[in-house]
Amino acid sequence: MTNKPIFLWCVMTSNRGDKAIRTSITRSLHKYCDAPVAYFNIKFDEITEQRIEQINKEASLLLIGGSGLYTNYKTSSGWYFPCKTELFDKIKVPIVLIGIGCNNNLIDDLYGNLTEKTKQSIKKINELAILSSVRDRRTYDILTDLGVTKHSLIPDPALFLEIPKIKKEKQVAINISQHIPLLGRYDGRQDIREKNILIFSQLIKKLYTIGYKVVFIAHDALEQSIINELKKEVSELSYINIDNIDLMLQEYAKSEFSIGIRMHSNILSMAVNTPFIAIAYDQKSIEFCKLFNLPTPLNVVTYTYEELDKLCKFFIQYNKLDEKVLFLKNWYKEVYNYFIQRVVGYASQNGY
pLDDT tens across 227-251, in order?
999 999 999 999 999 999 999 999 9
Is the residue at 166 inside a domain?
no
Angle at 137 between CA 272 and CA 320, to 5 degrees: 25
Q: Are residues 182 and 281 in the same domain?
A: yes
* Mean pLDDT, rounded, of the chain: 94
Is the residue at 226 inside a domain?
yes
Percentage of the chain with pLDDT > 90?
86
pLDDT score of 271: 98
Is the pLDDT at 110 greater than 90, yes or no? no
Which structural domain, as residue segments, surrounds residue 180?
Answer: 171-318
Question: What's the CA gap between 341 and 65, in Å, rounded?
Answer: 15
Q: How confident is the model at residue 42 (pLDDT cuts 50, 70, 90)?
A: low
pLDDT score of 30: 96
Is the pLDDT at 97 greater than 80, yes or no? yes
Is the residue at 325 inside a domain?
no
Size of the chain, expressed as the number of residues it contains: 352
Q: What DSSP string runs through 77-88?
A: SSSSS-S-GGGG
pLDDT score of 41: 58
Is the residue at 165 inside a domain?
no
Query: What CATH number corresponds to the domain at position 191?
Result: 3.40.50.2000
* Long-range CB contacts for residues 288-294, cutoff 8 Å, separation at least 24: 288/135, 288/136, 288/155, 288/156, 288/263, 290/136, 290/137, 291/136, 291/137, 291/155, 291/328, 291/332, 292/325, 292/328, 292/329, 293/324, 293/325, 293/328, 294/325
pLDDT score of 226: 96
Enumerate the β-bridge partners of residue 105. Answer: 282
Percentage of the chain with pLDDT > 70?
98
Q: Are residues 133 and 52 in the same domain?
A: yes
Q: Are residues 336 and 301 in the same domain?
A: no
Q: Are residues 18 and 97 in the same domain?
A: yes
Average pLDDT, integer, range 93-122? 91
Is the pLDDT at 43 greater than 60, yes or no? no
pLDDT in tens, 14-27: 899 999 999 999 99
pLDDT score of 2: 56
Q: Are residues 152 and 239 in the same domain?
A: no
Q: Are residues 198 and 134 in the same domain?
A: no
**In angstroms, how far is CA 305 from the centroid of its own chain?**
26
Is the residue at 11 inside a domain?
yes
Q: Are residues 24 and 154 in the same domain?
A: yes
Is the pLDDT at 349 greater than 50, yes or no? yes
Enumerate the β-bridge partners of residue 133. Answer: 152
pLDDT score of 93: 97
pLDDT in tens, 289-302: 999 999 999 999 99
Q: Are residues 182 and 153 in the same domain?
A: no
Q: Are residues 234 and 152 in the same domain?
A: no
Is the pLDDT at 85 greater than 60, yes or no? yes
pLDDT in tens, 136-169: 999 999 999 999 998 999 999 999 999 999 999 9
The count of structural domains within the chain is 2
Is the pLDDT at 1 greater than 50, yes or no? no
Q: Are residues 21 and 97 in the same domain?
A: yes
